[in-house]
Amino acid sequence: MTNTPGADLHLPEGCMAGIAMHEMSLCESILQVLEQQAETQQYSKVKTVWLEIGALAGVETEALRFSFDVVVQGSIADHAQLEIIEVPGQAWCMPCSRNVVVQQLYDLCPHCGSHQLQVNSGDQMRIKELEVE
Amino acid sequence: MCGVCGCGEGHSHSHDHDHEHDHEHSHDHDHHHEHDAAHSHAPGLSQFRMVQIEQDILAKNNRYAAENRGYFGERGILALNLVSSPGSGKTTLLTETIALLKNDLDIAVIEGDQQTARDAERIRATGVPALQINTGKGCHLDAHRVGHALETLQPKDRSLLFIENVGNLVCPSSFDLGEAHKVVILSVTEGEDKPIKYPDMFHAADLMILNKTDLLPYLDFDTEQCIHYAKQVNPHIKILPLSAKTGEGMDSWLRWLKAELELQRIDYA
Ligand SMILES: Nc1nc2c(ncn2[C@@H]2O[C@H](COP(=O)(O)OP(=O)(O)OP(=O)(O)O)[C@@H](O)[C@H]2O)c(=O)[nH]1
Ligand SMILES: [Mg+2]
Ligand SMILES: [Zn+2]
Ligand SMILES: [Zn+2]
Ligand SMILES: [Zn+2]
Ligand SMILES: [Zn+2]
């Protein structure tokens, strides 16, 4: 998802002036979780955040990194490192009766070409682990 | 309604919970130091440790959505979340639908837009209650704000509640509002490839309305191809072509609404 120079920048429609509002609001949700966990888990500073993002979650990881740095400024996660674990998409193919790997929600089954696919993994957005102080 | 965020129960204003994070934060550490993996602090000065949390990023929104869903379930209210690009005809579809149904059913509308109360005013002009939520810079409605809107709007038991989301084919797909169904509206002027360009939204929706079919004679829009793309992204999606302007195809939409409302009322004690 890196943008090569001269190539089109893929910003989701509905985002203002190049700011990916979608990723921005996801980062606000991440920060809320970090702040809420700070009390129960007894920490005052977050150093690293491991996120698991599915390939089908509709998240631009570059935009997410950018937004994260902005959103956490001045918070308990100021300057925290964001580690993104990308999880491949998986769907159940009805004609083949088995799980297949998919890159996009509109992919056809790589074995039989059917679009009777039921996504069962790869649309998650989860905070897995934190390194805290 | 707001047990989760602790913003106080029973208040009827739709306030903003985005606190500013302006708590005292002493910048006594060096902001230029590198946070690379090799970086280590002097022993004894810091105790970094690992915390396993396994939390869905949208967990908080999902908790509010579950509350809203419970609210609708208890009251036999059918809530529909209408999503689309700006200008596909959501508000027009609503005003036309309300005109045809308001003598048979109770209807209420929550309108989400970044600015202005124009759409809520268009709805109120039809004689049904409507509440406008302005999201400002935010590009989608979230379940928390919808929960507060319910406190104010107080939709009737066994009624039909339309939630018109902010015109945006991207983020509203991730934010569950507690609705029974997402209904995506695509107008024929937008091109047949929208379902594969914005697959998340078409994947999340249960019904796709193909609006402005009265304009088909003037366009190269390939309806068959559009339906094929939508089914490719979501094999279960139902598709209704109609024109909110001429009324062509509206009867199928009304039948779908009434059938869904009946299903929602089955649970209602
Ligand atoms: N020809 C034609 N025009 C329509 C139809 N439905 C809506 N329109 C027109 O499309 C324009 C946008 O309609 P709205 O109902 O405001 O669309 P919207 O999706 O609510 O727009 P936002 O709330 O701004 O995202 C208006 O000029 C409508 O008159 C239709 O079926 N046929
Ligand atoms: Mg509108
Ligand atoms: Zn197959
Ligand atoms: Zn609240
Ligand atoms: Zn700092
Ligand atoms: Zn958004």
Q: Which domain holds residue B50?
A: 14-54
Q: Does the structure show a pLDDT above 60 at B18?
A: no
Residue B165: CB within 6 Å of ligand 1?
A: no
A93: in domain? no
Residues 6 or more apart whose CB falls under 8 angstroms from that of B237 comprise B202, B205, B206, B207, B208, B230, B231
Angle at the Cα of B229 (from B227 to B234), degrees rounded to 5? 90
Mutation for B interface: A79, A102, A105, A132, most B CBs within 10 A: A105
- Is the separation of the CB atoms in B191 and B230 below 8 Å? no
Cα–Cα distance, A32 to B39 (Å, whole number): 27
Q: Residues B22, B130: one domain?
A: no
pLDDT of residue A23: 86
Query: Could you give the percent of chain B with pLDDT greater than 90?
Result: 72
Q: What rounded mean pLDDT belongs to chain B?
A: 86
B8: in domain? no
Q: Does residue A131 sit at the B interface (CB-CB below 8 Å)? A: yes
Cα–Cα distance, A15 to B151 (Å, whole number): 30
Q: Does residue A120 sit at the B interface (CB-CB below 8 Å)? A: no
Q: Residues B141, B43: one domain?
A: no
Q: Which residues of chain A have pLDDT under 50?
A: 1-19
Q: List CB contacts (< 8 A) between A41 and chain B.
A: 51, 53
**What's the complex ipTM?**
0.72
How do residues B120-161 score in pLDDT, each as one tens digit? 999 999 999 999 999 887 788 999 999 999 999 999 999 999
Domain of residue A83, CATH code: 3.30.2320.50
Q: Does the structure show a pLDDT above 60 at B239?
A: yes
B186: in domain? yes
Domain count, chain A: 1
Q: Which domain holds residue A69?
A: 22-87+123-132
Q: Does the structure show a pLDDT above 60 at B191?
A: yes
Angle at the Cα of B107 (from B145 to B7), degrees rounded to 5? 20
pLDDT of residue B259: 97
Q: List CB contacts (< 8 A) between B170 and chain A.
A: 12-15, 22, 58
How do residues A100-113 score in pLDDT, each as one tens digit? 999 988 889 999 99
pTM: 0.81
B73: in domain? yes
B7: in domain? no
B2: in domain? no
Higher pLDDT among residues B39 and B107, named by residue: B107
How do residues B193-202 score in pLDDT, each as one tens digit? 999 999 999 9
According to DSSP, the residues that pair with A100 across neighbouring strands are A91
Q: Which of A111-125, B1-15, B44-58, B115-129 has the lowest mean pLDDT?
A: B1-15
Neighbour count for residue A16 (Cβ, 10 Å): 12
pLDDT of residue A44: 96
Q: Residues B42, B74: one domain?
A: no
Q: Does the structure show a pLDDT above 50 at B96?
A: yes
Q: List CB contacts (< 8 A) between B202 and chain A.
A: 105
Q: Does the structure show a pLDDT above 90 at B260?
A: yes
Q: Residues B87, B160: one domain?
A: yes
pLDDT of residue A16: 43
Domain count, chain B: 2
Please measure the distance between the N-terminal and C-terminal CA atoms of chain A and give it in whole angstroms.
32
B83: in domain? yes
